[in-house]
Structure 1
Amino acid sequence: MNGTGNTPDAPRTSDAPRTSASPRSVIVVGSGPTGLLLAGDLAHAGVPVTLLERRPYGISNLSRAFGVHARTLEQLDARGLADPLIATGGTLTELRLFRRLSLDLTTLPSRFPFLLITPQYEVERLLERRARELGVEFAYESEVVGLRQDRTGVDVDVRSADGTVVTRRAAYVVGADGHRSAVRQAVGLPFPGVSVIKSLFLADVRLAEKPETVLTVNGAGDAFAMIASFGDGWYRVMGWNRRHEVADDAPLDLDEVKEVTRRALGTDYGMHDARWLSRFHSDERQAPRYRVGRVFLAGDAAHIHSPAGGQGMNTGLQDAANLGWKLAAAVQGWAPEGLLDTYEAERHPVGKAVLRSSGGLVRLARAQSPVLRAVRAVFSAFVDAVGPARRKAIAQVTGIGYRYPAPRGSHRLTGTRALDASLDTGRLYESLRSGRHLLITPDSHEPPATPRADRLTVAHWTTPRRTTVLVRPDGYIAWAADAATPETIEAALSAHLG
């Protein structure tokens, strides 16, 4: 295909030197959380993977994400990373959306009934260390300047810091290279959307007075502010002032940050010694497709959201968890027909739902007209008073409520997130650390004889249950049956594992 992914077997147009690469390899572009998780998963599955990053090496403390939700922690738990990450931050058991509405996270049916507040760079450090230990090849100062694909692979033109351009080839390419994604542009996908907040500021500061919680958020009138702790004496402040919406490159000083914070929170906590000040704007955008041939998009390259609810980084990490094992199956030759298509079918609707929910929250938070303020009050009262509405809101914000499409007639558990449980091999999410599918049967069943040992872990429930389930490596249930027979189990394994 050519750069837009529409014409098979287009002639090569680049004279750049070509590097030798395995046709069974994958190139991931972008070393943020999404790219790091994906690259690590591929390497863990035995797939050669190269991670290209345009920037020089270094984990920046300037990232905006601070919240890690329950579903993301479950995904990290399946990689042995949740507990080390929790040790880097603090937890919140109540998520306040508006002055009159807060969500009690202690009711979450999860091992992680809270929101973890920790800087994005702590997530990146853990994921980078894992990726390096698993053998991922890192190539920094490597900018994608061209891309072509055919029936067997993808050629990527990569420019290094000295201006040299080489062509790397792989079986598949994933663009996890942010909202200005070179990969997305190379395959000709648009990125439609709007700016939902035209002017926000960020600042890293010291505080003379310590806030009561690790995350302090509120809005008042035209002002909004959030303060989150780095855990080392520094704090990240984010805010906006509806009366002062300016371009991203407009000057910003600490006095402005303090004034908006006082209006929103009632105090600036003795803010001083800013080490970094910046402005940005918040967009809502989503690519119409997440796949063009052998090229995929994930994370901010595929969708960007307002900061409301802290769902951006979390959604990208869950994209990676969904895609990694599927790409590994395709590269290794056992993927059932159509498996790669399920990535877009499953994750695009989730990205769209996050776009709507986060956008709705920020619009209600910024409500100025009497009508919108009344809508916000009614919405808050309804969610607070009605149990199912409250549970749905919590499930959506934390990511635990999303389910994937299931074939007609499937068991009710098919497509749902697997709850952690005690097995004879350990906890369910501990048992997923192999990166393989997990077949869980009642304890009276004999383990099925199967040649798929490299793709399957077999376990038993340790409590009386009659349901047999096949859990995917990303922690979602691929198939389930009550009172399953050896024949139905074998049919399920054949359908999902080849």
Structure 2
Amino acid sequence: MDPVIIVGAGPVGLTLALALARQEVPSVVLDEGPGKDEPRLARTVVLREDTAALIERLTGVPLDEAGARWAGWRSMRRKQVMREITFGEDPDDAEVTGDPQAPAPLTPPLHVAQHVLTGALRAALAREPLAEIAVDSRLDAVEQETSGVTAHTRGPGGTWWRGSHLVGCDGPRSTVRKLLDIRFPGRTAVERHAVAALRTELPWPGRALLHRMPPWRTSGPSAGEVTARPLPDGVWRLDWLLPPGKDLVTPELLLAHVRETLTGWTGETSPSYELLDTGVHVVHHRLARRWRVGRVFLAGDAAHLLGALGTHGLDEGLRDADNLAWKLALAWHHGPHEALLDSYQAERRAVVAGRLRAADQALPLLRGGKGLRSYVPGAARGHDALLTDGHLGGGPLGAPAGYADSPLAPRHIEGEVPVDTPPGAPVTDVVVTAEDGSFVRLRDRLGRGALLVVLVAPGTGVWERRHWVTAGIMPRLVAAVTALPHPAELLVAESYPGAAAHTVLLVRPDGHLVTALNGVRPADLYAAAEATLGGPAPAKEEAEAGAGSR
């Protein structure tokens, strides 16, 4: 069968290719560049816990060695520390000061240069026999019919490519999106930031800082917000929020920002630093009207742009790839299932639209004029909490996506019971016993194309699997899992947050909880699994007719 064609060799396209390869689906990545990424320390990405784990799982590279995981977070307003967070190894160990009502933070984000991230992805793909990168290949035509997709590229090796499906991961100016005539409405230049990467020493090593309304603002017009994020080897990325407009950011102005900011933070009149890279980061908010047209899909910046108020668009792009990969893999191996493929747009577009709405609602409060809110008690702390959510991955601006309203969510499951993870949300990464008797993290079993069935059975961890695998409810559960309409892996956990003994969890291949059942209930488990796959699979002729009509 033909490979999946992926247009664009950025982090999202490379991640999708690796995720498909892990599920035994071949792909070809069309890279319009030479196959190398220019080192730019002023161009970095911040990854949340789930997306960092996805990259590590696919590349085998411990990203803590390639990037910097923040030791803490500090937010300041003028000279006052508003909030201070010290991260622990476990989220429950984190210390939060300055806001007693604030929820416990997530694990610390990971900050890494984008060229380092893409380098790790490219290196992993080079070892992958099921994936090919075609460099200097610029897409200029796409044709699709019932049985597949044909793409034409121009360049030194310009040719026609044949694929089962095509995914446009080709960025904000996506050629795929334009060829499909998909509208991309939204807002231009929602925020602008001057950016500098420099090597220096700051008074809070390893901690990210958000400083609003710093008292030294003298270097020209400024909206009064500076962010400092640590990188390895004593390097920091500094971002200065610029006022609305198109004022030119000159080298002299940027150097003045650097000097006065470091002076204000360190108290030194001539702070030492090594300037490594500079740039201007412009944030746009846009959302494609459609993410699927027949056998062609959009993902990453080709489908959405966001990034105001500390949110990070690449996180959502990587979640696009994770969501789409297992659905494409199932269609590739077993034939097109339209309801399952349609759910990609339904789930991912809804999540990103919610992020954009939350940011657009908050922007007037945080970036507007003084107005009434300046006199509302606690307004400054509320604004600080909102910005912290955006930067650290909490609240409506940054919390991990859930698919509670997904068309794949099962309805009317009689034996469903509540656990601390709501249906549709990402599961907690607990230790489980695998089928070979080894102890692994639950997250390590994701991305293989199989459903996961997790039995919560206290006490099993102290016995070898062979002693309890044929006892109690296990034989019934094994039989129920074997009868499911899709391959599934049976795992056993000593405990799971909020789950009673003998609770059975059904987990999607991308790590989102389908349902939690009160004991072994084969009919409920089968119904939930079938719903997760988009319902009963149609006949081959019916599926092909549906694919051709889109």
| Aligned CA distance change for structure 1 residues 80 and 64 (closer, same or farther; 3 Å) | closer
Q: Which letter does structure 2 place at the counterpart of 1:437?
A: L
Equivalence for 2:66: 88
Equivalence for 2:441: 427
| Aligned CA distance change for structure 1 residues 165 and 75 (closer, same or farther; 3 Å) | closer
Q: Distance in 1 between matches of 2:377 and 2:318?
A: 30
Offset of 1:271 from its aligned partner? 5.8
Offset of 1:481 from its aligned partner? 2.0
Q: Distance in 1 between matches of 2:454 and 2:48?
A: 26
Equivalence for 1:194: 187
Q: Distance in 2 between matches of 1:52 and 1:414?
A: 37
Q: Distance in 1 between matches of 2:294 and 2:368?
A: 42
Q: Distance in 2 between matches of 1:437 and 1:264?
A: 54
Q: Which letter does structure 1 place at the counterpart of 2:433?
A: D
Greater CA drift, 184-193 or 403-412: 403-412
Please state whether the residue corresponding to 1:416 is helix, strand or coil.
coil
Describe the superposition over 1:54-90 as per-residue Cα deviations: whole angstroms up to 9, x where unpaired: 1222123336333211232343465475x70122233
Greater CA drift, 277-286 or 179-188: 277-286
Please state whether the residue corresponding to 1:191 is helix, strand or coil.
coil
Greater CA drift, 107-116 or 477-486: 107-116
Aligned partners of 1:479 and 1:492 also within 8 Å: yes
Q: Which letter does structure 1 place at the counterpart of 2:494?
A: T
Describe the superposition over 1:115-172 as per-residue Cα deviations: whole angstroms up to 9, x where unpaired: 2222223332332222222221011221111212222211211112x3x632212111
Greater CA drift, 93-102 or 222-231: 93-102
Equivalence for 1:150: 145
| Aligned CA distance change for structure 1 residues 261 and 286 (closer, same or farther; 3 Å) | farther
Aligned partners of 1:287 and 1:302 also within 8 Å: yes
State the TM-score, normalizing by the size of structure 2: 0.74
Offset of 1:346 from its aligned partner? 0.6
| Aligned CA distance change for structure 1 residues 264 and 312 (closer, same or farther; 3 Å) | farther
Q: Distance in 1 between matches of 2:286 and 2:515?
A: 33
Out of 445, 450, 471, the residue aligned to residue 474 of structure 2 is 445
Q: Which letter does structure 1 place at the counterpart of 2:512?
A: Y
Q: Distance in 2 between matches of 1:495 and 1:208?
A: 54
Q: Distance in 2 between matches of 1:130 and 1:111?
A: 32
C-alpha RMSD over aligned residues: 3.6
- 2:191 is equivalent to residue 213 of structure 1: no
Please state whether the residue corresponding to 1:340 is helix, strand or coil.
helix
| Aligned CA distance change for structure 1 residues 111 and 469 (closer, same or farther; 3 Å) | farther
Q: Distance in 2 between matches of 1:327 and 1:376?
A: 51
Offset of 1:239 from its aligned partner? 1.6
Equivalence for 1:8: none
* Greater relative contact order, per chain length (Cα 8 Å cut-off, separation 6+): 1
Aligned partners of 2:393 and 2:399 also within 8 Å: no
Mapping for residues 125-144 of structure 1, pairs under 5 Å:
125-135=119-129, 136-144=131-139
Q: Which letter does structure 2 place at the counterpart of 1:232?
A: D
| Aligned CA distance change for structure 1 residues 260 and 352 (closer, same or farther; 3 Å) | farther
State the TM-score, normalizing by the size of structure 1: 0.81
Describe the superposition over 1:308-329 as per-residue Cα deviations: whole angstroms up to 9, x where unpaired: 3242111111111101110111
Mapping for residues 65-464 of structure 1, pairs under 5 Å:
65-76=44-55, 78-79=57-58, 81=60, 84-92=62-70, 94-95=72-73, 99=77, 102=83, 104=85, 108=91, 113-135=107-129, 136-160=131-155, 162=156, 165-197=158-190, 199-207=192-200, 211-220=204-213, 222-242=223-243, 245-246=246-247, 254-258=254-258, 261=261, 270=271, 272-333=273-334, 336-360=337-361, 363-374=364-375, 377-378=378-379, 380-381=381-382, 394-400=394-400, 402-405=402-405, 406-410=409-413, 411=416, 413-425=422-434, 426-432=440-446, 434-443=448-457, 444-446=473-475, 447-448=478-479, 450=482, 455-463=487-495
Q: Distance in 1 between matches of 2:342 and 2:454?
A: 26
Describe the superposition over 1:428-485 as per-residue Cα deviations: whole angstroms up to 9, x where unpaired: 1122264422122355322126377983212223346222222111101234322233
Gaps of 5+ in 2: 93-103, 214-221, 435-439, 458-472, 538-550
| Aligned CA distance change for structure 1 residues 122 and 101 (closer, same or farther; 3 Å) | farther
Q: Distance in 1 between matches of 2:317 and 2:484?
A: 30
Q: Which letter does structure 1 place at the counterpart of 2:403?
A: R
Greater CA drift, 343-352 or 94-103: 94-103
Greater CA drift, 204-213 or 329-338: 204-213
Please state whether the residue corresponding to 1:168 is helix, strand or coil.
strand
Percent of paired sites with the same residue: 26
Structure of higher CA gyration radius? 2
Out of 516, 519, 538, the residue aligned to residue 483 of structure 1 is 519
| Aligned CA distance change for structure 1 residues 375 and 192 (closer, same or farther; 3 Å) | farther
Aligned partners of 2:200 and 2:235 also within 8 Å: yes
